[in-house]
Chain A
Amino acid sequence: DAGITQSPRHKVTETGTPVTLRCHQTENHRYMYWYRQDPGHGLRLIHYSYGVKDTDKGEVSDGYSVSRSKTEDFLLTLESATSSQTSVYFCAIRKTGAGEQYFGPGTRLTVT
């Protein structure tokens, strides 16, 4: 499972509230990613990180910010949650070599 955990695993929140999702890895991988999964869209890249304090935007970054102050933790923040951000969020790490990405268990977020 590449030592990836996500917290919380489930969350229900109200529109307009801030939300932070955490991804934690235990294997010291440099690259980390946040994706969202929605029916009919597959997975889409939100933000990614290529090292501590090095982050960049992905395909669907509007309304999201990220931070990485330690190698092992990658945080995704919704500053003011909207109903369109109801989704399942997956964190991933990229292993060196073949470049395969391994995914965490996911966080199901519902914004009411």
Chain B
Amino acid sequence: ELKVEQNPLFLSMQEGKNYTIYCNYSTTSDRLYWYRQDPGKSLESLFVLLSNGAVKQEGRLMASLDTKARLSTLHITAAVHDLSATYFCAVEGGGADGLTFGKGTHLIIQP
């Protein structure tokens, strides 16, 4: 059974600081996804990581994938309030490539 663990599950940080969210998964997979969810909204795709060593960056967010360690990271650089949201990682492993999600990291960025 594929398991996906995120940590931390809750993070409060100040604007301007850097931080990293970690996503570990239990079985081999070459595809990992990061999503953002704002309160009461749907999920928005952030990054698609398709191979070992993949690195993607968008603004202040950077995601990486190490398939050998079964680890992905989402790094936040110089955080701003607008990045406050819940972030999910998800791994393919279900039927027809259904996704298995981590429990999410609730991120609050305070001025």
Tally A-B pairs: CB < 8 A: 66
Residue of chain A at shortest CB distance from B88: A42
Q: Contacts A44-B101, A98-B50 given: A56-B42 contact, CB under 8 Å? A: no
Interface of A is mostly: strand
Report the minimal beta-carbon distance from B15 to chain A, rounded to whole angstroms. Answer: 27
1/0 contact string of A36-66 vs chain B (CB within 8 Å): 0000111111001110000011110000000
Report the minimal beta-carbon distance from B47 to chain A, rounded to whole angstroms. Answer: 10
Say yes or no: A56 contacts B96, CB within 8 Å.
yes
Report the minimal beta-carbon distance from B84 to chain A, rounded to whole angstroms. Answer: 18
* Chain B contact residues, CB within 8 Å of chain A: 4, 31, 33, 35, 41-43, 45, 48, 50, 88, 90, 92, 94-104
Could you show 27 A-B contacts with beta carbons less than 8 Å apart?
Answer: A31-B97, A33-B96, A33-B98, A35-B99, A40-B103, A42-B4, A42-B101, A42-B102, A42-B104, A43-B99, A43-B101, A45-B94, A45-B98, A56-B96, A90-B42, A94-B96, A98-B31, A98-B48, A99-B92, A100-B33, A100-B45, A100-B48, A101-B99, A103-B35, A103-B43, A104-B42, A105-B41
